[in-house]
Amino acid sequence: MSTVTKTAPPLLTGQRLEKSFASRVLFRDLSFGVPEGARIGLVGANGAGKSTLLKMLAGAVRPDHGEVTLRRGLKTFLVAQDLVDGPETVSQFIDAAVREAGLDPFAQTVARRVDRISSEMQLSDVLERPVAELSGGWRRRVQLAAALATEPDLLLLDEPTNHLDTESILWLEDFLRSRSMAYVLVSHDRLFLSRTVDSIYELDHRHPNGILAVNGSFESYLERKADLLAGLSEREKRLSNRLRRETEWLSRGAKARQTKQRARIDEADVLAGEVAKMKTLNAKRRLEIAFERTERAPEKLIEVRDGQHALFANLNLIINSRSRIGLLGANGCGKTTLIRTLLGQEPLSSGKVLLAPGLSTRYFEQSRDAIEAERSVGLNLTGEGDSVIYQGRTVNVKAYLSKFGFRPEQVELPAGRLSGGERARLRIAQILLEPAMLLILDEPTNDLDFETLEVLEDALDDYDGAILLVSHDRAFLDRVADDIYAFGMTENRELVRFASYLQWEIAFHKQRAKMAEATALARSGETAKAVAMGTDTAGAGRVRVSYKEKFEFEQMEQKIREKEGPGHS
């Protein structure tokens, strides 16, 4: 007798979902399922509706048409893109999330779970601190702790790496890999996706049902998408050739029965409609970004000699006309301060900063403060009028903005109504209007989709000036920077130079492993001393290792071997 294996029903399904804002359709006829145990990366171009869809799955937004159906009793939790803020303490924030989920935070089982999670997330020492006082990485931990306290069946994460430094992103990767719950996350961090998900769902109107679902790694998704788009292009080519032949036949006035000719005319009309549809599907927005350097830049732009500062020490650095330098370190370690010091905007406690005469720089600031929210998109570029000077030529502002993916109707839109990705593209458009010897880019990749990231990488690759870059997008950092200077690797505040991001990560993991081992040995010694003195009653002979340390011990050697590759021991 054969047995039939039953597959578990999906956690949720979306059927023919549609959502619009004003007159703009985000998605239409969108259908998909989220299977049990799924680890899905939700991707797509800026404005495709990823965050809206995530809110829809959480029940915070309703579709205009269609339906989201949840498995009976399914509990979801949405960790929003914006970091938690406010005067409440960490403990109060977690308790509020528990109450909102319909649970009693003072119930014994719930209270024990919150205590256990707080310990695992290393939040025990900050439970009574206001959330607003914590760094971005710790606030993200608070949000995740609140989510776990409600025991969701499906965790929804919207750009979870935003506002996090590289060390916090590595922690988040380990955290997600160590959990058994299903999750759907929106992210533009390519390395993060490749390490945390086993399926990719891409929102794109070109795909059947409005979505491309690929079971496999992020790399598998890239290969599948390339094949799919190549197939669409080939189909457009075949249909276009067929339409050309039919049009030529009809234009010759072929001698045939009237009914047959009428049928071919109708067929040609249908074919023309199919070709037009395929052209629309295959139309790819290609941004045009090209950085220009001023003429005759000196070979040496900036030199720091024996630079001393409260946040860094013994700095000797030369930025040449073709330097590509990346700065890496935890939030608050001094990256922005170092940039200000290099530009002569903040003094050293000792040492010298020498700037080349006539040094011209362009600064892409993380806050996008140069964009005036109340002014229109166009006036943010022109100041007044309807044209800009680009590469020595007068260009209509609408034509110029089209190079950066802006539609004509957006030119008059207040800049404050742009999305994060659109604001980033507008800031790039501003910077390009003035050539520079040195580009200083502070988190330029925040909110940018994959296509824009690739175009920006290519543009920086072609730029013949110097680049000073701060970015937590590790793939971007590795592609653009030739040298990486890292904070926090030594006790005396010196910056350490690495040739690549991967080299830094291997060193970082080794450093953390040694620290964890030293901590465990110290605790072991303290326990032995307590036993000898007869003061250890509850934990005699036991070494208490935190959740994070335990995970690092289990994974560290294998992780280092994998990253160092063959030939290392």
Cα distance between residue 561 and residue 569, in whole Å: 8
Within-domain flag for 423: yes
One domain for residues 398 and 341 = yes
Residue 13: per-residue pLDDT:
95
Within-domain flag for 5: no
Residue 84: per-residue pLDDT:
81
- pLDDT above 60: residue 344: yes
Top mean pLDDT of 228-237, 264-273, 351-360 is at 351-360
Within-domain flag for 289: no
Instruction: Please give the residue range of the domain that contains residue 273.
Output: 222-282
Mean pLDDT of 360-383: 88
Weakest-pLDDT range from 75-84, 97-106, 272-281, 505-514: 272-281
Task: Copy the structure tokens of residue 289.
Answer: 């970004």
- Pairing mode, if any, of strands 496-498 and 483-486? antiparallel
Weakest-pLDDT range from 161-175, 276-290, 332-346: 276-290
Percent of the chain with pLDDT strictly greater than 90: 46
One domain for residues 258 and 350 = no
Within-domain flag for 27: yes
Within-domain flag for 96: yes
Within-domain flag for 292: no
One domain for residues 373 and 456 = yes
Residue 257: per-residue pLDDT:
44
Residue type, 383: G
Coil, strand or helix at 96: helix
One domain for residues 61 and 129 = yes
One domain for residues 99 and 243 = no
- pLDDT above 60: residue 207: yes
Residue 561: per-residue pLDDT:
46
One domain for residues 520 and 477 = no
Cα distance between residue 133 and residue 125, in whole Å: 13
One domain for residues 263 and 325 = no
Mean pLDDT of 194-205: 92
CATH number of the domain within which 364 lies: 3.40.50.300
One domain for residues 472 and 394 = yes
Name the pLDDT band for 252 (thresholds 50, 70, 90).
low
One domain for residues 544 and 448 = no
Beta-carbon contacts of residue 476 (< 8 Å; ≥ 6 apart): 445, 453, 456, 457
Half-sphere exposure of 197 (CA within 13 A, CB side): 32
Count structural domains, the chain.
Answer: 4
Output 2 or 97, whichever has higher pLDDT: 97
One domain for residues 78 and 163 = yes
Nearest Cα to Cα of residue 294 among 245, 230, 358, 352 = 358
Query: How many helices (H) and strands (E) in the chain?
Result: 16, 20
Within-domain flag for 383: yes
What confidence tens digit (pLDDT) does each residue in 520-555 have? 887 777 666 665 666 554 444 333 344 344 444 444
Q: Count the residues in the chain.
A: 569
Within-domain flag for 449: yes
- pLDDT above 90: residue 261: no
Mean pLDDT of 466-473: 93
Output 273 or 107, whichever has higher pLDDT: 107
- pLDDT above 90: residue 163: no
Name the pLDDT band for 243 (thresholds 50, 70, 90).
low
In contact, 523 and 531? CB cutoff 8 Å: no
Name the pLDDT band for 157 (thresholds 50, 70, 90).
very high
User: Phi first, then psi: what are they for 260, rounded to 5°?
Assistant: -65, -40
What confidence tens digit (pLDDT) does each residue in 33-69 have? 999 999 999 999 888 899 999 999 999 999 999 999 9
One domain for residues 498 and 513 = no
What confidence tens digit (pLDDT) does each residue in 377-424 have? 999 999 888 899 888 889 999 999 988 888 888 999 999 888 878 888
Residue 449: per-residue pLDDT:
85
Coil, strand or helix at 561: helix
Top mean pLDDT of 42-46, 179-183, 324-328, 515-519 is at 324-328
Residue 253: per-residue pLDDT:
58
- pLDDT above 80: residue 158: yes
Residue 299: per-residue pLDDT:
93
One domain for residues 411 and 354 = yes
Residue 395: per-residue pLDDT:
92
Residue 282: per-residue pLDDT:
54
Work out the burial of residue 441: count CB atoms within 10 Å of its CB; fewer than 13 is exposed, 13-18 middle, 19 or more buried: buried
Last residue within a domain, chosen from 219, 242, 263: 219
Mean pLDDT of 86-109: 92
Average pLDDT of the chain, as a whole number = 83
Q: Cα 293 to chain center, whole Å?
A: 29
